[in-house]
Chains A and B, each alone.
Chain A
Amino acid sequence: MTIVEAGALLRARKVSSLELTRTCLQRIEKFNPAFNAFITVTREAAEKRASEMDAELTHGIDRGPMHGIPIAYKDLVFTKSVRTTAGSKLYADFVPDHDARIVEQFDAAGAVSVGKTGLHELAYGITSTNPHFGAVRNPWDREAIPGGSSGGSGTAVVAGMAFMAIGTDTGGSIRIPAAFCGCVGLKPTYGRVSKAGVFPLGFTLDHIGPLAMSVRDCAITFEAISDARGVVPAAEIGSLKGVRVGIPENTIINRVWPEVKRGVKAFADKAAALGATVVAVRLPEFAELNAVARVILMGEATAAHVSNLGKREMFGTDVLALLDQGRLISAVDYVNAQRLRKKMTAQFNAVWKQADCLIIPGCPTAAPKIGQNRIEIDGVDDDVRLVTTSLMRGINALGWPALSLPSGLADNGMPVGVQMLARAGSEKTLLHVGAALEDAAPEFKRLPPGLA
């Protein structure tokens, strides 16, 4: 069930917030031991809050589409009096004395938090195989990763443990779990959602946004935590006449599994069938943009955590290696990376003369297995982390909004996804076109067997 559907039932008095919340809590109780999506579950607080939201509706107080909806936060979002671990041993017992700005906004919007979701340690990785809190599991296959770093949020939403779960995205950490778990993920434009009260990873690359089961649910969430208004797509969209949809033809974009490529083509065909003008475009090189984004991230992530680097035993091997690499990036390289970022952003932005939005692959493959470090594309064996972030990481440096949409199942039965991109500040276009394509592709809406 989506937020839109649950909201209609709530307002028709066919269901209560307490019933929705208890259903989520029951599913957490049933499925979390197998999938490890949650680090902390706030059962009592959730039931109390849901009852309060029901009472408000009874008295005619309606805070809007998030009113009474059970949600979850990635466990690096500060929640007053509820521990916030950042997936790190360093913060295993950290209890914030205040809420993050987005928590205040969701409270004002009437949402009900059921708990805190698992993540890659310090949000610095794409597997969510956490050495301190255990591996988060993919809802389609327990032996596969859910992606990361917001892996618990992806699994929680697809397993029906929450209607929406907040993620953060510094190099793909919302879009990767959305693609690997088979849900929708929105990374808004940089700066449109407050980062106040959220553990940083890359100060100029971090984005906050939702993972949910539909584009409209992501739009509703985005409105609740940003200055955006009027971005929720209409219930029926119909034509996309007048919209220019760009399909990039860069080499790297074709370095994906055939099933992923088919998803891009399917959505391009659907856009054309809905009246959009589909145009071939060419973007500057992703590999160079990715290198720049990596230098910036390594410098910023290490700056964020350098004061704890003396306690080497407190970190997992992979995260420690990344933080150590950041220690070897010079200030000169960091500043030059920011100069290159500005130059490249101008070059990439030129594409918006030809298109209003782009459709490109999301992750080049379906989810790898837990512990798998190499993956094959077109007969070439490559590093899982570099492959998975190859079409994601650079977008954070550009600050563009990005939407991850499910595009069906790979031949191995695991979800794959596409990514839609738009110019900075153009979430309305992105969500409008995304919802139209989602409506036109009911065959891509799938739930894992046993979790439906």
Chain B
Amino acid sequence: MADWTKISEGFETGIPATQIEAIRGTLDVLEKTFQPLVAALTPEDDTATPFNAEIEPR
């Protein structure tokens, strides 16, 4: 699992340690689902450009 404390320090977020503890579990669960999906991406998988932006009326 990611070390959220180190990531927070690296990004210089200033998020208090108590808050990191409070959100750690949620982030871990999300990572567990998300990262295997990322691992299955291939170079041909392009990004969704700002979605349908061409039909945004204004």
Q: Which residues from chain A sit less than 8 Å from chain B, CB to CB?
A: 101, 189-196, 203-204, 226-227, 287-288, 291-292, 294-295, 310, 320-321, 324-325, 327-328, 330, 333, 335-343, 345, 399, 424
Most buried by A among B34, B47, B51: B51
- Report the Cα distance A282→B51, complex, angstroms: 25
A343 & B41 in contact (Cβ 8 Å cutoff): yes
- Report the Cα distance A345→B19, complex, angstroms: 34
- Report the Cα distance A120→B19, complex, angstroms: 21
Cβ-neighbour of A339 out of B19, B34, B48, B57 (below 8 A): B48
With both chains docked as a complex, state the minimum distance between the C-beta of A256 and any C-beta of chain B, in angstroms.
Answer: 20
Extra A-B contacts (5), CB below 8 Å, given A291-B33, A328-B15? A191-B52, A196-B57, A328-B23, A345-B48, A399-B52
A342 & B19 in contact (Cβ 8 Å cutoff): no
- Report the Cα distance A87→B35, complex, angstroms: 34
- Report the Cα distance A204→B26, complex, angstroms: 23
With both chains docked as a complex, state the minimum distance between the C-beta of A379 and any C-beta of chain B, in angstroms.
Answer: 21
Q: Enumerate chain A residues within 8 angstroms of B37, measured Cβ to Cβ.
A: 288, 291-292, 340
Cβ-neighbour of A324 out of B19, B41, B51 (below 8 A): B19
Chain B, 26-58, contact with A by CB distance < 8 Å: what is the 0/1 string? 110010011001100100011110111101111
Knowing A195-B56, A333-B38, A339-B46, the reply to whether A325 touches B33 (Cβ < 8 A) is: no
Q: Enumerate chain B residues within 8 angstroms of A341, measured Cβ to Cβ.
A: 48, 51
With both chains docked as a complex, state the minimum distance between the C-beta of B19 and any C-beta of chain A, in angstroms.
Answer: 6
Count of chain B residues with Cβ under 8 Å from any Cβ of A?
31
Select from chain A the residue with minimum beta-carbon distance to B45. Answer: A339
- Report the Cα distance A219→B15, complex, angstroms: 45
Knowing A324-B15, A324-B19, A325-B23, the reply to whether A294 touches B30 (Cβ < 8 A) is: yes
Knowing A191-B52, A294-B30, the reply to whether A310 touches B14 (Cβ < 8 A) is: yes
B23 & A324 in contact (Cβ 8 Å cutoff): yes
B41 & A336 in contact (Cβ 8 Å cutoff): yes
A327 & B15 in contact (Cβ 8 Å cutoff): yes
Knowing A194-B56, A337-B34, the reply to whether A327 touches B51 (Cβ < 8 A) is: no
Q: Enumerate chain A residues within 8 angstroms of B45, measured Cβ to Cβ.
A: 339-340, 342-343
B52 & A321 in contact (Cβ 8 Å cutoff): no
A291 & B7 in contact (Cβ 8 Å cutoff): no
B46 & A399 in contact (Cβ 8 Å cutoff): no
Q: Enumerate chain A residues within 8 angstroms of B27, measured Cβ to Cβ.
A: 325, 328
